[in-house]
Structure 1
Amino acid sequence: MISDPELITPNVERMSERFAALAEFHDSTVPGWSREVFSEPYRASRDWVRRQMADAGLDPVTDAAGNIVGRLPGRRGGGPALVTGSHTDTVSQGGRFDGIVGVLAGIEVAQRFRETGTRLEHDLTVVDFLGEEANDFGISCIGSRAVTGVLRAEHFDRVDGAGTRLGDAVTGFGLDPQRMLRQAWRPADVHAYVELHIEQGPLLERSGTSVGVVTAIAGIDRLLLRFAGQSGHAGTTAMDERHDALVSAAAAVLTVERVGCGAPVHGVATPGCIESSPGSMGVITDQARLWAELRSVDGSWLRGARKQIVDEVVAEARRRGVQVDVDHLTDQDPVPTAEPVQDVIGRSADALGLSWRAVPSGAGHDAAHLARLAPMGMIFVPSVNGRSHCPEEFTAITDIEQGVHVLASTLMSLDRMSLDRHAVVRGG
């Protein structure tokens, strides 16, 4: 058995082959890599993920929530497990590394533990969580919400742009919504959770730093604003007599941007999508919809910005004689990572001779939900030019190798520690 983390070096060739193989599962009719939740490429890729887990020595199962869960038994045999993983779904026309790094890293660490005869005291669990990315139903992190008990029955009544219920999409994917609601793990099931991920931003690359130790995961508010105006002839209705829903939505876009520009560090606001009908240049728009998102690690700013946007958008629309309905699609508070886990990650990087810095995460992650169950930490590796959620998303395999090595070392250290359960995030 090997007890020195320096000797648990990842197999770079094997990891490269797995990244290339998983990238083959995508929608070839559009640019980039699209493997969205419930899609056929996503369905096919999950069979491949289960095979990789089995090849690594894990015992993989797909749970009632659609998560692929692989377990490597520890010496104790049962009890709270060390958990790592992420997700393999992508946004539309996304990249090859977001989430994928964390799943393949967990598989590689488990395989290296088995190959070197390294036996942890705790079981090691590697998870590919179902549907982490935001989707047309307005709910992200479906699988990790289920295992942490925050997936609710009303989520399944949400509909996408085509009018399909989330519950029906879940059923069509071979899952039972009622069983998903009963899939929650107990805090006693998890010793600690650590997720490796690409940074999705420029800080690490610009500073020449190998590893990011995440301090907090941003809270996310997503809004759907529905504008109801009055249609009319575009050539005969005077400008001061119009109730144009699209103009009100366009004004709201600028309000979202302006509020975001006034945010403190690590606060952003993004108008993501706008739709209108009837969609004719000769007809004044009577219906429009705007999706917007706010993110920050500062919960007070997040709440204040949401109220400011809604108040200003409603006031501007009323001035134009347009009605506004607001639907809060997501309300997730910022989540700090556990300081003991941060410390272990930093010490692991130091021991391997790697530079590191503390960084916040502006992106959401499954880890934010796992923090409800156990002390949680995240490891970042650099993203080239800070690009993510696009075909240009890229992280060098040498940077991934270093992150995987830090992950292995961190898990080995946490395995020997007694962790304070007060580090668990409650509520939210």
Structure 2
Amino acid sequence: MTGRIDGKALIRAIEKMATLTDQSAPPFTRRAFTETYLRGREWLKSHFETSGLDVKLDAAANLIGRMEGLDRDRPPIMIGSHTDTVTGGGRYDGILGVLTGAAVASYLHRSGQSLRFPLEVVDFLSEEVSDYGAVSCVGSRAIVGTLSQEMLLRNNPNGETLKDAIKRMGGNPDLLNAPLKKRGDIAAYMELHIEQGPVLDTAGIPIGVVSGIVAIRRVKITVRGQANHAGTTPMKARNDALVGASQMISLVHDLALDWQGSFPLVATVGRIEIFPNSPNVIPGLCIMDLEVRSISEEEIDTFLDQVEKAASDTSAKCHVSVSFETASDAYPALCSENIIATIKEACSNLGYEYLEMPSGAGHDAMHVASIAPIGMIFVPSVKGLSHCSEEFTKEEHIIAGAEVLLESLLLLNEKLDVSYAKLLK
């Protein structure tokens, strides 16, 4: 049975959220902790309420809409994602998952249908890499207790700590010295998301059923040379940190390109700071952020070992020093076999073709997986574009994903009732 989701209202909500963008940055930019983000949160709170949800902020400033079930004492089935973006990010990444969650709640509200379990729709705080020492998934880390005190004390470029920023968003960071949820507090978690890659679009398949989420490790690479006058220092007498950094970037790229491990691996140097960053001064210091992703932590370990060993050659050749420091580490997360089967059953019930596939991108779901069974639904990204203003998903795929999410929720509500203990394993 299709047509239960109000597709026109869902598309209008996505279009409205797209207008809540930082006018001084490329479209569509809504960075966590900004005034633009707060305006988006204000609109989203109202939208949640219109969808039949009671809304609150938790201690981590996650925005949570709740609909009670027939049994208020049961843990909720949670649907979530995020509404913050990267700079110049798209209209769908994260936003789609939150708004389809609201659309599912709206259907239940309009139809007068009650689940056995409570339903919670969550907009997690700052899923994207933040300006606070490159911490990502702030809200979902706090839920499960992996937002460390060290992370809370990291600064943004203006000197504000993450702890103070969470407080400014309406949270209570003094309560984040322990997990906000423990195993058993969430019956199941589902997240609908754009694929952010080309697989579904290329294959012409409307739904991806996610099998697992890759591990993500971010490493700060520091290259130290000697700042000096660019006009008076002979080429052979230079200790140019930027030259060393450029060779490290090429090294990372080449090692990842030629990777022959048991599992696919990707590596990216996506940010670099240069000091003193002046045209007439030889760079004396470069700080880079390296990100490595694979479903296998062992493969990431092996890759980084190779990078560090090869860095000694760069150090000697360029007369610089190279050091490495782990900035963050997100473990791989496998989706629940029972929820995977439920999503596939929902696709079959609705007549949608699907493809089972891993996620190469990180999501809040990978943190929730440490305390609850998770499942994810992908919909196609046209040309595989994401984290850019050209990011686009067709309306028919948005509505198909929302229908599958709703059908999966209804099926899961029944299955959890009879096999709850099994699903929690």
Superposed pair shares fold, TM > 0.5? yes
The verdict on how the C-alpha distance between 1:415 and 1:422 changes in structure 2, with shifts beyond 3 A counting, is: closer
The verdict on how the C-alpha distance between 1:405 and 1:116 changes in structure 2, with shifts beyond 3 A counting, is: same
The verdict on how the C-alpha distance between 1:330 and 1:420 changes in structure 2, with shifts beyond 3 A counting, is: farther
1:226 maps to 222
Q: Distance in 2 between matches of 1:48 and 1:182?
A: 30
2:73 maps to 78
Q: CA deviation at 1:320?
A: 2.8
Q: Distance in 2 between matches of 1:160 and 1:266?
A: 33
Q: Distance in 2 between matches of 1:355 and 1:16?
A: 22
- SS of alignment partner, residue 187 of structure 1: coil
Q: Among 183, 186, 197, which residue is 1:187 paired with?
A: 183
The runs of 5 or more residues in structure 1 that have no matched partner are: 1-5
Q: Distance in 2 between matches of 1:285 and 1:392?
A: 35
Cα pair 1:371 1:424 within 8 Å, conserved: no
- What are the within-5 Å matches in structure 2 for residues 170-249 of structure 1? 170-182=166-178, 184-249=180-245
1:122 maps to 117
Q: Distance in 2 between matches of 1:129 and 1:177?
A: 15
Q: CA deviation at 1:237?
A: 2.3
Q: Distance in 1 between matches of 2:139 and 2:96?
A: 18
Q: What's the Cα RMSD here?
A: 1.8
Q: CA deviation at 1:401?
A: 0.5
- SS of alignment partner, residue 41 of structure 1: helix
The verdict on how the C-alpha distance between 1:89 and 1:347 changes in structure 2, with shifts beyond 3 A counting, is: same
Q: Among 128, 149, 157, which residue is 1:133 paired with?
A: 128
Cα pair 1:266 1:362 within 8 Å, conserved: no
Cα distance per residue 1:228-255 (max 9 Å; x no partner): 2112222332323221111111111111
- What are the within-5 Å matches in structure 2 for residues 195-344 of structure 1? 195-263=191-259, 266-344=264-342
Q: Distance in 2 between matches of 1:107 and 1:78?
A: 22
Determine whether 1:50 maps to 2:48.
Answer: no
How many residues matched? Answer: 420
The verdict on how the C-alpha distance between 1:374 and 1:175 changes in structure 2, with shifts beyond 3 A counting, is: closer
- Partner amino acid for 1:363? A
Q: Distance in 2 between matches of 1:17 and 1:216?
A: 31
The verdict on how the C-alpha distance between 1:424 and 1:153 changes in structure 2, with shifts beyond 3 A counting, is: farther
Q: Distance in 2 between matches of 1:226 and 1:72?
A: 48
1:376 maps to 374
- SS of alignment partner, residue 415 of structure 2: coil
Identity of aligned residues (%): 37
Cα distance per residue 1:258-292 (max 9 Å; x no partner): 12212355421011011212223332211111111
Q: Among 405, 408, 424, which residue is 1:407 paired with?
A: 405
1:148 maps to 144
Q: Distance in 2 between matches of 1:25 and 1:234?
A: 45
- SS of alignment partner, residue 145 of structure 1: helix
The runs of 5 or more residues in structure 2 that have no matched partner are: none
- SS of alignment partner, residue 226 of structure 1: strand
Q: Distance in 1 between matches of 2:317 and 2:422?
A: 50
Q: CA deviation at 1:7?
A: 5.3
Q: CA deviation at 1:163?
A: 4.1
Cα pair 1:8 1:408 within 8 Å, conserved: no
Q: Among 60, 64, 74, which residue is 2:59 paired with?
A: 64
Cα pair 2:48 2:55 within 8 Å, conserved: yes
Q: Distance in 2 between matches of 1:55 and 1:182?
A: 33
Q: CA deviation at 1:414?
A: 1.0
The verdict on how the C-alpha distance between 1:357 and 1:83 changes in structure 2, with shifts beyond 3 A counting, is: same
1:3 maps to none
